[in-house]
Structure formats: C-alpha cells, structure tokens
Chain A
Amino acid sequence: MFEVFRFEINYHRRQYLFYVLSGVFFLLAFLATTTPNVQMVGGVDNVNINSPYTVLLTLTSLSTICVFGAIAFCASGVIRDYDMNVAELFLSSPVTKSDYLYGRFLGSLVFAFGLFLAGSLGVFLGELMPWLDSERIGPIPFGAYWYSIWAIGLPNMFACACIFFCVATVTRSMMATYVGMIVLLMLTFLLGTFTEKETVELTSILDPFGGTALGEVTRYWTVFEKNSMVPALEGALLANRVLWIVIGLGFLALAYPLFRFNVDSGKKPKKQEVQEQRVSVETTLLAVTVHQDFSGRAQWMQYLSQTRIEVLNIVKSVPFVILLIVGLVSVTANAAANLGNIFGTAVYPTTAIMVNIINGAFSLSLVAVLIYYSGELMVRERNVRVSEILDAMPHPNWVMMAAKVTGLVVVIVSMLLAAMVAGIGVQLYKGYYDINVGQYLVGLLFFFQFPLYLMIVVSVFFYILTRNKYAAMALMVLYFIYSLAAPQMGLEHYLYRFRQLFPPYSDFTGYAHNLVPYLWQTVYWGFFGCLLLVVIHLMWPRGTEDDWGNRLKVMRQRMTQPVVISIWAFSTLFVLSGGYIFYNTTILNEYTTRNERESLQAEYEKNYKQYENLPQPEPADIYAEVDIFPNKREAVLKATMVYRNLHDVPLEVVHFSVSPRVDVERLEVEGATLETYDEDYAYRIYRFDEPLAPGAEMVVDAEIAWRTPGFANNGHTVKLTPNGTFFNTQDMFPLHGYQNDQELQDNNIRRKYGLPDLERMAKIDDEEQWMTSGFNMKRRVNFETIVSTSADQIAIAPGYLQEEWTEGDRRYFHYKMDAPIWPFLSFVSADYEVKKDTWRDQVAIEVYYIHDYNVDTMVRATKDSLEYFTENFSPYQYRQFRIMEFPRYQGTFAQSFPNTIPFSEAIGFVADLRDPEEIDYVYYVTAHELAHQWWAHQVMGANVQGQTMIVESLAQYSALMVMEKEYGRDYMKRFLEFELDRYLQGRGGELIDEMPLYLVENQPYIHYRKGSVVLYAIKDYIGEENMNRALADFIEAYGMKGPPFPTTKHLIAHIRDHTPDEYEDMITDMLEKIVLYDLRVADSSVTETDDGRYEVTIDVIAHKFEADGSGAETEVPIATYLDIGVLGEEQGDAKVPEIIYLEKHEIKRNEQTIKVVVDKKPVSVGIDPLNKMIDRDPSDNVSNVAAG
C-alpha cells in the first residue's frame, strides 16, 4: 500500500497541477482576507477582520471551494490509470486490490488536504497584513485556526474525497465524478435555503459542509462572542461532523467491493460486437442518382441536422438528466418551502414570484450544464474522431458553429421550460390558478436567459481562443469573478460590464418602463455577441492543423466580403447602441460610481456638518401643487410655504438642500437673497436682508421638477412609474438645514474618508434636542395640496378630499387638512380599485388596491384597531383612514403618513392567508401602521436616543394587543417566538453597540423585535389595564403638543406610575438594561395527594446575565418574579397544552425547588413556559413531568 501511496505522491509532486491549484486557493483566500473586492463570506463587517468567527466562516467556505480542486486529485488517480493504459502494469504487479485502492486514496487525500491548507495559509498571512483597518484587528486567533482546520476543513475535505474517490473508482468516469460533486453542492445549497428554526435542526445535521450547523450554533452570537470564541464541538455540529465522516468512510468502504480489479476498461462493459450474417448482395455501385444542392436552403438543412445531433448528444447523456432533475427538485423545494414568507406565512405563488424562485434555484444547474457542455461540445468531434470526416464535408463553417451554439441554447431553453412546468405545478398544487405563461416565457427565456446566451458565446470564444476546454473553463471563472468584482473596483458602467437582466416587475406596471434600459443593454451586448461569433467563425478550427500560424492563414482566407461586411456592420451597430447607452447614462444623466457617491456624502458632511445645530426657520403652512405625469415618469412641485422663526433669536440665514435627483427651477425666499450655491450637493444658503425676528414669518416659493430623461446606468428612481407613483416629502420638497441622514452610516467606510465614528442619535439628556421632534421639526403645519395625475389614475395625499375634477387628460384632487400635521407627506398615484367602509360612522375607511386578496382583512384590522386604541389610549384625531397599495419594487414596507398609509404590494396584498394556522401579518401590519397615528402622529418622541421606542415599540405593542384580542394568547406565543428569534439574531449583526431599549438609536432589531417581546412581557407583569392607563397618561401629557417633546425617560416614568412595587426591577431590566436569562427545568415530580389533587415539585435552574453593548455578558444574582407553570394535555386545533397553573414566583437562587398543588393531572411543567423572557434557548423551559 505504501508503494502505491508513494507512487501517487510522486506523480502529483511532479505535476504542475497541485502547485497551480494551491497557488490559486492561496491567492483567493489571501485576497478575500485583505481586500474588500473579493469576498468569501458575508455579514462579518461588524466584527474583527481576524475574529475567530470570521476565521471559522472563511475556512468553512474555503473548504467548500477547495472541493473543486480536490476532485482533480481524488478522481484522477484511478481514471488516469485507465486513460493512460498503465492500469495493466499496476494490476499485473504484485499489489493487492486494497493496497492499490487505498494507497491511491491516501495519496490523493494528502493533496486534497494540501490545497485546503494552502488556502488557510492565505487567510492567515492575509490577516497579518499591515494595511488592514487596525481598528478591526484583534489578537491572532490561533485556536480558531486549529479548530477550523481539524473540526471543519479537514473533515469536509475527507468526506468529499471519499465520495469522489468512490464514484470515480466505481464508474471510472470523470464526468460522473463531477456530477457527484455538483449534486453534493446543490444539496448544500438546497439545505441552506431552509432557514426557519423548525427545519434548521434537521438541515444542520445533514449539511455536508457543516455551514448550516455552524450558522445555527452561532445564530444568536453577539459581536463580543464572535470576536472571542469558537463554538463547542457538541450537539448538532458534532452530529453533523460525525455523520459526514461516517458517510465518507461508508463510500470508501463501498469502493472496495464495487471496484473491478482488472483491465477491462469498464467504460463500455456491455458493448458487444455486432455479428453480421454473411450475405452477399451484388449491386452496381452508385446506381442511385442524387442531386447536390448548396444553396442557402441546403445550408439551413445542414445546420438543422447538425443542431439535432448536438441537442440529442446532450439530452441523452446521463449528467444532463441528473442536473436537470436536481435543478427541478431544488425549484420545487424552494417554491414549496420558501415562498417569500414573512413570519412563516406564505404569499400567493404569483408567476412573478415563481419566476424569481426559478431564476434563483435553477441557475446553478444551468451554469453547470452550460460550462461543462460548452467545453464538451467543442471537443466532441475530435474526441470521437469524426472531425476529419466532417471537416472535409462541403458545409460552410458557420453551420458547425451555429449548431453548437444553438444546441446549447436549445438545451438551456428546454431546461427552463421544464422548470416552468414545475413552477406551474407548484402554483396549481397551491390552488393558485392565475397562471401567466407569457410572463414565464419572458421572465425566464428572455431576461434570465439572455446573459446565458451571451455566456454561451463567450465560453465558445474562450475555447476557440485557447483550444483547451480546461483553459476555457478557467477563463470563464475569471469572467464570472470580473462580473462580480468589477462594481466593487469602481467599474460600474454597463458598457463594459454585463449585468444580470432582472428588470423589476410589479403587477402594477409589468416590466413597463424598466424594460427600456434592459432592452438597450440586450441590443448592445447582443451585437457584441454577434461580433464575437464572427471572430469565432474566423478562428473556427477546421482540419487537422491548429497552430497560430495556420490559424492566421486560415483567418485571412476566411475574410471574405460577407465576413468583412458583417464585422463592419456589427461593430458599427455595437458602437452605435453603445453610444446611445452612453448618451443616456452619461450625458442625459450623471454616471456615478458607488465610490464617487460615498465620497460625495463624505464631502457633504465635512463641509456642512458645522451647520447642523444652526437655528433655522421652519414651515408653518404648506400649500403644494403637485403634478404627476405617470407616463413621462415626471413630477413637478409648486410649493408656497410659510416659514416661521421658532427660536428666540433673530435668524440671519436659511439653508436649503434638495434631493440630488431633482432640479430646482425656482427657490425664492422672501426677504432673502441667495448667498451661496454649491452645485455638487445642491446646497443653498440664503441671507435675510433683515434678520428674521423671533416669531416672524416669511414665504418660500419653490418650483421643483423631478425628471427622468432617457435611462440611467443604475436605473432611474423606482418611485415614479407609469402606474404606481409613490414619493414623500424628502424626495421633492426643499429641506431646511443640514440633513444628517445623508451621512455615511458604516463606520468602516467613514474611517476610510477620515470621518469620526457616527453618532447615531443625540444623547437622551441633551435637553436642547428635546425641542425637536423625531420628524426633525418643532411644530406641526397646516397642509393643503392639489395633486394632479393622468385621467385614469387616482392621486392621494394626506388630507380630506375637498374637490375632484378633470381637465382634459388630467385629473385633479384637492386635499386639505383641518388641523396641523407633521409635514411627513406622501404622494401616491395609480389606477386603483377602491374599497370603502366606515367605522362607527365616524371614520371613513378606504383601501386603494389592485390585489383584492386581503383587502377585507385590512378593513377588519382597521376597525378592530380603532376600537382598541380609542378605548384604551385616546380618540382618533382624523375622520378618515386610507391604505394605498404600491408596487413591490418600491420597497417591502408600509408607512404611516397622516391618515394615509402606503402599503407595499409585497407585504400584505399577496400574502396567502387561506390557512388559518399561518400568522396573519396583514392584520398585524395594518394594526401597527394604524397605531402610528397615535405613536408618531399624536405623540412624537424628542429627537434623541430612545425616540424610535416611542414610535415603533409602542406601535408594536398596540398591534400585539389588537392581535391578541382577535386571535388569542396562544397565537401570540408563536408570533413572539419569531420576534425573539429576530431580536437575538439581530444582536449579532450590530454594527456599533447594542443599546438598551430606552436608549435605542434607530436599531430595528431592538425597537421592533425586542420592543414587542419586552412590552408584551411588561403588560403581562403589570396587567393590560395598568399598561394602557400608563400609555393613555403619556398621550394626555404629550399628545398633539410640543416642543419640548418627550423622551423614553418620560414614557418609563408613566409606566412606573402604574407598576406594582415588586415589578419595578423588572421594568429596569427590560427597558433600561440588556438582560438575558437562562431558564431551565432541571427535574420535576408529581405525587397524588389524599384528596385527589396533585402535588408537583419543580427544580428550576435560573441564571440572569447583563450584557454590554458588544454583547459581553456578566452573570448577575437573580432576584426576580418568573412564571411557574403546570401544563396539561394538548387541546384544540392548535395543539396547545392546557394551562393548569400559571403564577409568578419569586426566584432568588440559581437553583430553587418549587412546590405547587393542582387539581388536574399535570403533563409538563415549566419556568417561564410561555417564553416571555429573553432566553437564548427557550425550548428547555418546559419539560415533561415524571410521575413520582
């Protein structure tokens, strides 16, 4: 065995392949570590560049990538012997079968390990490089390297090596081995798409590379943990490692009995030579007269005949069938499991969504087929040695070339058609019958396909250039890397970078206006492809000679007039269409790269941050005429606004900026002249002729146009569309003062521009800031507007409709507010259906929609919410409530403007709520947005830390209460599980510091997710009535008032007013600290008492931790009240256990025994059984009770 092993080692040592591949992996790993342009893992921007977590993830994905290299060593050994006919030598020498087999295997394993270690070395050295951001370099994590190598990397390489070796040994086919690899990778990819907690437990054990298990273990890791540790090798991770090592060993063992230790080449085992009967038939040769035809029609037939052969050759081959099946399975699995769900609730499988799923899940199969077969097709004639016959046949060169390209196209198209059928199957299975075949065809065969068509041509070209299918594949890989990395290197223009064609689609517009730039891009790159085809034609190999000298000679011969003409024609068309694109993207519009935009933002901050706290006048009355031109995708604003000096000092200047996308036609400030105009940032400073006295007013007249000439490189705004316009104040109105939301948000980028770390929000005690609300304004304003749109659309803005009229092809709507509102204004226009209803004859409810699935739910949620909020908080301040659907590509959110709620097509209107067990998030979102009419529009927090708690957390709480009333407590548990999970995950993605809830700095995972969990828990402790009374008091104190505006300290004071003394600490823990619990039932028993009752003894373990902003935890003594529960049999459809006993007990020690007596026979017991506390492992809170 050692002999064979040594032979294998020596063989590879002498081959350049190992050195080349190790070099490639080393370099790749090094670049991934040292430059942001190459990325191997995502989502680690907030932790140290060399944190143990980053090292672990990087080496894990490295081991996945190394598989591509390892396969060459694992598979080639045995196959090589047969290819080179040295098998006979080996097999006749005195080596036993197992020596031969396992010596070979060990030899290749050494090289597979070597590749991975070379990559690991690249990461290690990369992290030592001096140019890395020193702020993000921690101590060298030797332990993490060691762990990642022996626990993750080497087992991965081992398992893969075993599998590949077995497949190669048994089949003796390189292709079969490649297919094995692709199946393995697709399995990994497929398992990776299941992210929900329920399925992830299983998938983390099954995932071949352990990535899912690692992700699961580190799911709730904070920055601190990611920077300081690696996961323990236990539980699912250990099971996963062991499983795959065992699977590996299994394959290895299997190789032995299945391996035929003989020289029968094995490739054609069943082939029997045809025996002919000797019949002699005398005929005169060529008795048949035939006619030859070499016209265009004949060439066309030649082309068809050759194409037919190409297609049959692919579709009849086993790898193709396997790749197709794997692709279809992954499409179906994705569609079935992952249909764009929110809170686990699926959306209707609309064709647009199915097309997206197919594009996502199928691309790996398609690209694998494309790259493999493009190489294969190009060498097939030579491999089967029919090329000399074919090349001497009288067909023009283009026939062969076109047949190859067409063959590939036909294969890819038919794969997509199969996927389409699978997609339709899913739709029908889900009971969705509105199937749009046209959209499938366009979405799949055109948009998705076009890049593949081009890729086919490019990969054929690479083959023609290199005449080597491996070199061509390598060039294809470079091509992929270029198309991914170019934008990161500042090469963003689509003139030299071909983009994936995914024009945004919405049921509002179809592809509509988004189509134009894509079509031009298609045309441009299409001509490029044609040009490449001509070059390919010139260089197409024909005959037996293939050196460059000969190629040039042949090219000259082939430069016939039609060829020259087509080169000129295609070049001209390519240049012309490129010119047109250039004209649109770079002359009509401004072309900027991300780097340029970043540096512009940085400059803006450097130049104007000094004015951040400069007193500015604020609007008091806004009158706006807004003309929306849907088809032209334009909007024009004419605003007359009264500004008032709300400060107690006279103001000398007023600063205005506007969104960079609009043109200011006119901006006149009464009594002031333009002093400075900075064109780069559209920043204007006006100086008053006479300083504006405190309380004095002046009029600002503005005319602002938002145009979308031609098309832009990165696309024009998605907010202006032919159907479904939606924009807000920030987009079109002049904004006074410095706009700090334009600042760069990522501290890593800020450091690059020499900016200090971002201060996300003013400190809570900065009383000066209490004078400004979260809307960045001091006072509400009077608002009146006339919005016009095209005659077929309805335009909506905040306010009550005063009048509506049509003039020519324009339709006008006059809206007016009868009381001041925050100037947070939305303008919406689309061709809507309208559903009208009223609540208690006081509030008009209107839903403007194009999808009617869930409109009734929205109306119901509105009524229920109005009921609850008016009863418990305060009256509703408006007489109407409107919801407007907007196109999905404008965002996946709903937003609450005064009595007006734009609501995305993607988050509620297409949710599939037919299954009553699914979480009704349409109901929840509606309630949440309606709650903002209280929490934002009635009470707005001061513009300091904690402001979003007042707005978002309270809206979450309000919505939860409405939901609880409608759906019951059990339902809430499921919802809150999601919220807890998202909160705990969100902590790991924190970029700066996790804040306690009351100091939240606009951190969604805190103000939404943690907000839900802890406010619901507080309600549970202090009681719903107390909680609502506290909130009502809070509104009473601050509603519709200000400045000054309240902070969370004021809010908490109101809550404490209604909190029983024993729970004061609970309020502190939940709102003012970051506290986590680890609660478990250690043991329990039950004994029946003499009077037929049950005495239950529960041993609980309870730990309490306080975390700092980075997530570092310190255990603190526990002294708190927690639920102790005794649960009975599961009941009802929801299978929720009956609650026999649920009371709060004071827990003072880490281990405590609690005895309760209940009437019914208990099944399980628990501490915090309903998971109200923040506990990273909520599942061990309950355990079955042992009969005593």
Chain B
Amino acid sequence: MQAILDRFKGHGHVSVLAGANIVVLVLLAIGLGSSFFSMNNMQSMMTQVAEFGLLAVAMSLAMLTGGIDLSIVATAVLAGIVGAEFLTGKVVDLATTPAPVVMAMAVAAMLITGLLCGLFNGLLIAKASIPPILATLATSIFYTGVGTVMTGGASVPVKVKEFFKLGTVTVANIPMVFLITVIAFVVVGMMLRWTRTGRRIYLYGENAIALRFSGARHERLVILTYAIVGLICALAAMIMVSRTASARVGYGEAYLLQAILVVVLAGFDPFGGRGRVSGLALSLILLQLLSSAFTIMRFGPYMKVFIWGAMLLAVMLVTRIMAGFMERRERAHVAPPGSGGSPAVVEAVSA
C-alpha cells in the first residue's frame, strides 16, 4: 500500500495532467469541432507554444534546484537584442557579408549572451550566496537595463530575410521552431533522468547541504544549472526574434508569470527536488489548448489572465488538500508532527 502511495507521489500528478488533457481535448472536439483541429490552428498552436515552452523548461530547471529565475524573459530579450544587432546590420555590413554567415554570427551571439547571463546568475547565487529570487530579480532589472541602453528602448528590426523565415519553416507540416522545443525538452528530460548532473540537480533541490556533505561540487552545479537556463533562454530568443522579425525591451513580459504558473501546474515543487519534464510538457499542452480555445471563443486577454491566475490558485489549493489528505493517512500510521524525538515509535511502524 505504502509503495503505491509513494509511486503516486511521483507519477500521480502526471496522470492527472494527462487525464485533464484528454478531457479538454474531448470537450474541444465536441464544442469546436474541426475548426479547432484544422492544420492551420494546429500549426499556430505549435508555433505559439515553442518559445514559451523553452522559457518554461528553463524556469523548471531553476525550480528543481529550489531556486527560481526571474530573469528568464530579460535574458531572452537581451540575447535577442544582441543577435538582432547583427541581423539589422549594425555590427556587420549586410551588403557584403553573406546571409548564412550573418545568421550564424547572430545565433552564436545570442547563445553566448544567454550563456553569460545564466553564468552571471549562477555566480551570484553560488559564490555570493544571494538568494536566487533576489539575484535574478536584480539581474532581470540589470539585463533589461543593458538592453535598453543598447537600443534606446526602440525595436531592432531584423533585415536578414532568411532569418525570419526560420519562424515559418515547417518540416512535414510541423513548424521547425516547435521541433527545436521538442528536442530541447527531450534533451533536458534525458539529462535529468539519466545523467549525473541531472541526478545532482534533484539531490541539490531536495537538500543542498547534504549534497555538499556528499562531496559533490555544489557551487559548480548551481552555476552550471543557471548557465543551462540561460542557454535555453537564448534558444527562446532565437525563436522570438525570428517570429517577430525584431527584438525590443519589454517583449514577452507576461511570459514570466505564465512560466511560473505552468511549472507549478506541472507539479514542480517550488521548494525544489521534485518535478518531471513529462509533466511540464503535458501542462504546457493543456495551457496551449485552453489558450487557443479561449481565442476561438473570443475571450479577451484579461479573461485569460484571470483564468490563468485562478488555475494557479486552484492547482495549489488541490495540491494542498491532497497533501493534507496524504499527511492524515500517514499520521494514522506513524506519529504526529513534532514527535520526531521518538524514533522507537517510528521504528516499530516501518519495520
């Protein structure tokens, strides 16, 4: 029985999400029919979920370590701006440099910027011991500041046509940007499940002190994690710039709240150590389905904001109630909270 409960703790959330997805899909099929499942709508949903999905997976990594990254959007925007500086012809002469070279330089610049932003976050958190929420709050303001200074607050237009085609190219009718996101999810998922670094991220999130006492380089792990977060943000920046054919400060501000929402909805523990990429994927799909449905049903943007907020609160409420239920179940077996000083009691029970 206990084993079943333990398993449920790990997978229950994922199955609930899968169930919710099926229910929503069925409802949409009944209510909206073919207009919803048209190729057009499917492609547009995939494109929309692509960049946001990347930001969400970035956020989820930070949350797995028990931290949070409030600078994901600022990082992506800054990376986008740096890349767009190349694509707009400010850094290199577009007339004389071949487009593929410019694009390669732009992408490299974005990735390097994202990586540096992430590394800087990681250094502040690991080496200066600044709480992640404050460190990334500060850097989000700072990165935005750098972006504003670079652009004067204006939008940087992309002048290399080939680049914004990237946003519309499809492979077997699937948008390429969506494939990039899928690959990123698979890679992160595999990393978390099968690599030493992934395992250590979970252990760190669960108990950073114990990981340190196990002889792991805990500071390097934090820096590495936030560097990966920055890199994923840069990928998101790439999609962002290609989709909108420009980069500007202030783009995608609403993503931050939504990213936290979707990660918490996916069952990630804000205190760290728990959460699965598969759950995140399901939770993203669910949100995207609902979001598209709301658009088709002509809900205003604020109605959506309201529904997201209400969902976040509702999910937390349900999780709380379920946790309370589990606790009560366990208490019937073991000891009340605060009776930690009686190991003999616990002993007898678990034996």
Q: Do the two shown chains form a genuine complex with each other?
A: no
Residues of B at under 8 Å CB distance from A?
A: none
